[in-house]
DNA sequence: TACATGGGTGGAACCCGTTTCATCTGTCAA
DNA sequence: TTGACAGATGAAACGGGTTCCACCCATGTA
């Protein structure tokens, strides 16, 4: 940066000398709390200002034994659903004076492990992960560092780490029930890859009804479009497509429009997530609402309670419900 | 022997004692590099393993004087365009062994200042910000901490901090030229709020052509839908809508579809950003491609060069170009 | 008047790795 | 045989705050 030859940053001793007090007094001024006589305080503050002193955070962290850093391991930031979660998580952590350091894993447990190791090495006080599928060494790593871990986007009371999330199987069933209640029988399930992704796996797994066509594609707008093409080729008499995510559903909607297949007249489409945009696409998308934002808030609360007061948070299952919009209709 | 009360974390001295060596030797084993006799190394490693020793990151950071932490101040994570940028930024920073700590500002300079102060207090080595509009005290804050700052999403060679981004005015003109080349004359500009948002302001500002209708809405899918309604009421003879962002354009597309206004037959729509989904919405969206991912990579490079080698990065203007898809056509 | 109180401060230990410098040993060239 | 030298290792200083404990002095109380 602006490299003056040797302009060593001032430290407490420098300030103490300049203000003609002891370092203990400087520290007291810095941290408030303890009483310091006004004239003394003024002298110290003047010295701080004059020497452009800023306390060294590492030294402070060393004493307190707290980094005030929380690490989050996310499959990808580049996806609206995670972005919303992270946004809320960050905002809520901030209210507890905790900062959020992110690392993306690409959904790969091996990468998750590596990034977790780095984050731990960096000194994070807690880790937020996604789902319940971990690489082999993960638990040992956590044991070594002995750090709180909260798993999100998933609800599983039996999991070793507290989970804050949804009952993905129930979420999928909600969507399916919605379609069957509308008398649909020839239904396809369009999902992202299930390898490594236990959230998707749970959703798809819950849809074991015989007769459902399962189709797995890349998890993206483009992947969904491709999936729709393959689906229609395979089963031209389909009347409904159940997508395990709104991104996929929106992609499907776009492709159906391109192909001139009217939604919901000739085809019903339902998603899961309830992204903000889903209420505004054409036709507006029926979906299962998942409270991503609230999940972020609850996760932050859980982490904060754990690191601040040692309270291991309970598992938390967030409510999901169907939002019936224009993309589904009765046969 | 029932229940040790406090199981203090082992430190280098504990390890040294257990391995019957000096702390210097433990440190050598920890950091590789210097030669340590194999038998000694084995003893130390055994002790480390047995005591479950993990080095204290704060102490390490204190010695090195480096936190290896970079802070990013983002208007909001909850927006695909920033998410992509952050995703790339994080990935590239990781390659330089730097971690990314995020803080969202809501686009408000005052909040940006607060969050910057916190991040600096946390010990970040550099800051990444968005645009060039800062709160009053920001520069003084930076001067005090003397930390590198890189401004993104904007290109301005005259700005105090290096900028890595686009020439937003040129980007807007590119979109307008595309429409005028297609013989459109009755064109509306649909943008997000320009208060605080210099990127949007530059884009809108570059479109000073008389006759253009300007409309500012909330920056979201929903906002765009509302904007379209107001626009059509105000100027029913419009033939094209230029949106300052793909999110808005996609929202506009959805609303136009709802209103039964055919795109591009009765209305052309162009956006800016080129989100991945824009190539797949219906109709596929013409837009100005902005390399958000590359911006993230370049920003990371710039930050890394600065903190690692003291090289102040040059301003960088990334190329933008029109992608002509199905949402625009000649009159 | 004598002593307990408590606010205000300073000295120094402390947290925990890293690093410098000195020491010691074994080996190789002279 | 001995000095030169490299390899291995330890003692101690160091970096920058925080905090414990002792001490001084000015009231308040008996």
The 10s digit of each residue's pLDDT in B203-242 is: 988 887 778 999 999 999 999 999 999 999 999 999 999 9
Give the pLDDT of residue A2: 38
Say which of A97, A104, A121 has its CB closest to residue B91.
Answer: A104
How far is residue B245's CA from residue B247's CA, in Å, rounded to a whole number? Answer: 5
- Mutation pick from B8, B9, B15, B61 vs chain A, by most beta carbons of A within 10 Å, is B61
How far is residue A109's CA from residue A90's CA, in Å, rounded to a whole number? Answer: 23
Give the pLDDT of residue A3: 35
Give the pLDDT of residue A211: 80
Helices and strands in chain B: count of H runs, count of E runs: 12, 12
Q: How many CB pairs under 8 A join A and B?
A: 174
**Structure confidence by residue, pLDDT tens digits, B248-282:** 999 999 999 999 999 999 999 999 999 989 998 99
Instruction: For residue B39, give the nucleotide whose C1' atom is nearest its CA.
Output: D8
- Is B222 in a helix, a strand, or coil? helix
Q: Nearest chain A residue to B306 by CA: give it.
A: A1
How far is residue B274's CA from residue B260's CA, in Å, rounded to a whole number? Answer: 25
Give the pLDDT of residue A4: 38
- Is B320 in a helix, a strand, or coil? coil
How far is residue A263's CA from residue A252's CA, in Å, rounded to a whole number? Answer: 10
Burial of B121 (0-12, 13-18, 19+ CB in 10 A): middle
Give the pLDDT of residue A5: 40
Can you give the distance from the CA of residue A24 to the C1' of nucleotide D24 in angstroms? 16
Q: Which nucleotides of D are covered by protein (CB under 7 A)?
A: 7-21
Q: Nearest chain A residue to B67 by CA: give it.
A: A58
- CB-based contacts of A272: which residues, under 8 Å, 6+ apart? A171, A172, A175, A203, A243, A244, A245, A246, A249, A287, A288, A290
Strand D near-CB residues (< 7 Å), B 8-37: 20-25, 28, 34-37
Q: Could you tell me which of B266, B255, B193 has the C-alpha nearest to residue B221? A: B255
- Verify whether the Cβ–Cβ distance A255 to B282 is below 8 Å: yes
Give the pLDDT of residue B7: 56
Task: Find the angle CA(B144)-CA(B148)-CA(B154) to the nearest 5 degrees.
Answer: 120
Give the pLDDT of residue A7: 57
* Residues in a beta bridge with B300: none
Strand D near-CB residues (< 7 Å), A 188-217: none
Order the strands of the B321-323 sheet from edge to edge: B213-216, B187-191, B240-243, B268-273, B286-289, B321-323
Q: Phi/psi at A194 (nearest 5 deg)?
A: -100, -10
* Residues in a beta bridge with A70: A100, A126
- Is A265 in a helix, a strand, or coil? coil
Can you give the distance from the CA of residue B47 to the C1' of nucleotide C7 in angstroms? 48
| Residue where the block lists tokens 């200042």 | B113
Which chain A residues are Cβ-neighbours of B61 within 8 angstroms? 58, 61, 123
- Verify whether the Cβ–Cβ distance A59 to B56 is below 8 Å: no
- Verify whether the Cβ–Cβ distance A251 to B145 is below 8 Å: no
- Is B292 in a helix, a strand, or coil? helix
How far is residue A144's CA from residue A112's CA, in Å, rounded to a whole number? Answer: 16
How far is residue B122's CA from residue B109's CA, in Å, rounded to a whole number? Answer: 20
All residue ranges of chain B with pLDDT < 50 are 1-6
How far is residue A106's CA from residue A74's CA, in Å, rounded to a whole number? Answer: 8
Is residue B20 within 8 Å of residue B42, measured between CB atoms? no
DSSP character at residue B166:
-
- Please give the protein residue whose CA is closest to the C1' of the nucleotide D11: B22
Which chain B residues are Cβ-neighbours of A105 within 8 angstroms? none
Question: What torsion, rounded to 10 degrees, do the Cα atoms A135, B58, B127, A294 define?
Answer: 50
- Verify whether the Cβ–Cβ distance A1 to B306 is below 8 Å: yes
* Residues in a beta bridge with B242: B189, B270
Question: What torsion, rounded to 10 degrees, do the Cα atoms B245, B251, B255, B261 define?
Answer: 40
pLDDT (tens place) for every residue of chain A, 331 residues total: 433 344 578 999 999 999 999 999 999 999 887 788 999 999 999 999 999 999 999 999 999 999 999 999 999 888 888 889 999 999 999 999 999 999 999 999 999 999 999 999 999 999 999 999 999 999 999 999 999 999 999 999 999 999 999 999 999 999 999 999 999 999 999 999 988 899 999 998 888 777 899 999 999 999 999 999 999 999 999 999 999 999 999 999 999 999 999 999 999 999 999 998 899 899 999 999 999 999 999 999 999 999 999 999 999 999 999 999 999 999 8
**Ranges assigned E (strand) in chain A:** 69-74, 99-104, 126-130, 149-152, 163-165, 187-191, 213-216, 240-243, 268-273, 286-289, 316-317, 321-323
Lookup: tokens for A282: 């054409």
Give the pLDDT of residue B36: 87
The two beta strands, B286-289 and B321-323, are antiparallel
Is residue B276 within 8 Å of residue A225, measured between CB atoms? no
Helix intervals (H) in A159-264: 168-181, 198-205, 221-234, 246-258
Give the pLDDT of residue A36: 87
Say which of A86, A221, A257 has its CB closest to residue B77.
Answer: A86
Is residue A150 within 8 Å of residue A302, measured between CB atoms? yes
Burial of B93 (0-12, 13-18, 19+ CB in 10 A): buried
How far is residue A15's CA from residue B173's CA, in Å, rounded to a whole number? Answer: 54
- Verify whether the Cβ–Cβ distance B80 to A76 is below 8 Å: no
Q: Could you tell me which of A239, A198, A240, A247 has the C-alpha nearest to residue A218? A: A247
- Verify whether the Cβ–Cβ distance B280 to A225 is below 8 Å: yes
Displacement of CA B193 from its chain's centroid (Å):
19
């Amino acid at each position: 940066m602006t490299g003056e030859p040797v302009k060593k940053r001032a430290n407490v001793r420098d300030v103490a000398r300049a203000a003609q007090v002891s370092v203990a007094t400087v520290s007291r001024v810095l941290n408030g709390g303890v009483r310091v006589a006004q004239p003394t305080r003024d002298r110290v503050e003047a010295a701080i200002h004059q020497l452009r002193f800023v306390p060294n955070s590492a030294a402070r962290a060393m004493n307190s034994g707290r980094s005030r850093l929380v690490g989050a391991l996310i499959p990808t930031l580049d996806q609206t659903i995670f972005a919303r979660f992270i946004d809320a998580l960050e905002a809520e952590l901030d209210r507890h004076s905790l900062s959020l350091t992110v690392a993306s894993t690409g959904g790969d447990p091996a990468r998750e492990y590596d990034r977790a190791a780095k984050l731990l090495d960096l000194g994070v006080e807690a880790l937020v992960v996604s789902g319940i599928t971990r690489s082999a060494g993960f638990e040992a790593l956590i044991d070594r560092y002995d750090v709180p871990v909260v798993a999100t986007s998933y609800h599983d009371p039996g999991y070793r780490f507290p989970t804050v999330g949804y009952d993905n199987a129930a979420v999928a069933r909600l969507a399916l029930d919605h379609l069957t209640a509308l008398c649909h029988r020839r239904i396809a399930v369009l999902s992202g890859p299930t390898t490594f992704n236990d959230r998707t796996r749970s959703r798809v797994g819950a849809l074991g009804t015989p007769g459902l066509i399962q189709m797995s594609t890349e998890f993206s707008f483009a992947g969904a479009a491709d999936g729709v093409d393959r689906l229609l080729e395979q089963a031209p008499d389909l009347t409904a497509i159940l997508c395990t995510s709104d991104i996929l559903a929106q992609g499907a909607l776009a492709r159906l429009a391109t192909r001139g297949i009217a939604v919901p007249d000739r085809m019903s489409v339902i998603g899961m997530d309830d992204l903000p945009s889903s209420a505004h696409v054409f036709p507006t998308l029926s979906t299962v609402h998942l409270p991503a934002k609230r999940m972020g808030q609850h996760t932050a609360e859980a982490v904060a309670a754990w690191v601040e007061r040692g309270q291991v948070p309970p598992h938390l299952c967030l409510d999901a419900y169907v939002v019936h919009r224009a993309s589904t209709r009765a046969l």
